[in-house]
Amino acid sequence: MSRPLPLFHHPDYVAALPAGHSFPMSKYALVLQALAEMGQAVELIPPEPMPTHWLEAVHDPDYVAAVLGAEVDPARERRIGFPVTLEVARRTVAVAGGTYGASLRALATGFAANGAGGSHHALPDGGAGYCVTNDLAIAANRVVAEGRAQRVLIVDLDVHQGDGTAVIFAGRDDVLTFSMHAERNFPVRKARGFRDVALPDGMEDAAYLALLDTELAALLDAHRPDLVLFQAGVDPHGEDRLGRLALSDAGLAARDAQVVRACRARGIAIASTLGGGYAEDRMLVARRHAAGLTAQWAAMAD
Ligand SMILES: [Zn+2]
């Protein structure tokens, strides 16, 4: 297929971290390289930075001010896992803008991707697990508040539970959260989302894809969202450093295609975000994300 993949990206997506830090920040640049290697044409779309009041619509304004001023207290920084510098603050604003931009583009054309995002552990009053602010929540909340969608379903297939997103939207029926994750993985204490499916360690492709098919069809048919926000983490891969599941490269690609087809068959727009993915070899992780994006886009055309 020759049509270019609509992908939101900004140079601010890659913020400098202390040398040797374990968070794979470089993967957000390497994804572009991996897509080029695969011969996937890309339409790069620069996001608008997310205005502060939309950050404050889901996060405590004091926390937002601390992030934007690079003055997050040490206890909160420890929970995030890296220092919140001004560069990291610019990054979180750009990434939230990208998830929102991809949402609008998807609502207009059916599909778009953000080349970062899926920061699902960030809570109303602080970040956690490498997530500073919750781009999924910020974008979903804004899209609904602006009347661009009546209902958004967040489909979170990262190997870790989308606990921050679940907490932010608890009790709301205009933004629903679905998380399918490894039960024994981070976070130790799971939040209660709209629909949570906790998986046993070592689950492989066939069982995973069958369960996803059933769960997703039931949610889409019962709740009829206008927009799905897809957290397409590649950390359910069997060789991921932080995962506990056993999906293969083919299984992850099939998963991504399955989610897009399920939405497309029902006329539901879908915007995807990268989510987690961890290995010593950053290019290997970038290739997993790129393969997922390519599978998503191909499923829009087949
Ligand atoms: Zn993860």
Please write the tens of the pLDDT for every residue from 157-175: 999 999 999 999 999 999 9
The CATH number given to whatever domain includes residue 170 is 3.40.800.20
pLDDT at 19 over 90: no
Establish how many alpha carbons lie within 13 A of residue 68's alpha carbon, considering only the half-sphere containing its beta carbon: 16
pLDDT, one tens digit per residue, over 35-59 is: 999 999 999 999 999 999 999 999 9
Ligand 1 (ion): which residues have CB within 5 A?
158, 160, 233, 235, 276
What is the residue type of 237?
H
pLDDT, one tens digit per residue, over 117-150 is: 999 999 999 999 999 999 999 999 999 999 999 9
Cα of 277 from ligand 1 centre, angstroms: 6
Cβ-based burial of 108 (10 A; exposed 0-12, middle 13-18, buried ≥19): exposed
Structure confidence at residue 108 as a pLDDT band (50, 70, 90): very high
pLDDT at 18 over 90: no
pLDDT, one tens digit per residue, over 234-253 is: 999 999 999 999 999 999 99
pLDDT at 1 over 60: no
Cα of 166 from ligand 1 centre, angstroms: 15
Rounded Cα distance, 57 and 153, in Å: 18
Cα of 130 from ligand 1 centre, angstroms: 9
pLDDT, one tens digit per residue, over 175-229 is: 999 999 999 999 989 999 999 999 999 999 999 999 999 999 999 999 999 999 9
Residue in 121, 160, 237, 289 annotated catalytic? 121
Cα of 159 from ligand 1 centre, angstroms: 5
pLDDT, one tens digit per residue, over 262-273 is: 999 999 999 999
Sheet of strand 152-156, all strands in order from the earlier edge strand to the far edge = 42-45, 5-8, 111-114, 269-273, 227-231, 152-156, 175-182, 195-199
pLDDT of residue 23: 87
Cα of 161 from ligand 1 centre, angstroms: 8
Structure confidence at residue 2 as a pLDDT band (50, 70, 90): low
Average the pLDDT over 72-91 and give the result.
97
Cα of 1 from ligand 1 centre, angstroms: 30
Average the pLDDT over 63-74 and give the result.
98
Which has the higher per-residue pLDDT, 241 or 19?
241
Is residue 120 part of the annotated active site? The answer reads: no
pLDDT of residue 247: 98
Which has the higher per-residue pLDDT, 1 or 157?
157
Number of domains in the chain: 1
Structure confidence at residue 79 as a pLDDT band (50, 70, 90): very high
Cα of 239 from ligand 1 centre, angstroms: 13
Range of the domain at 181: 5-301
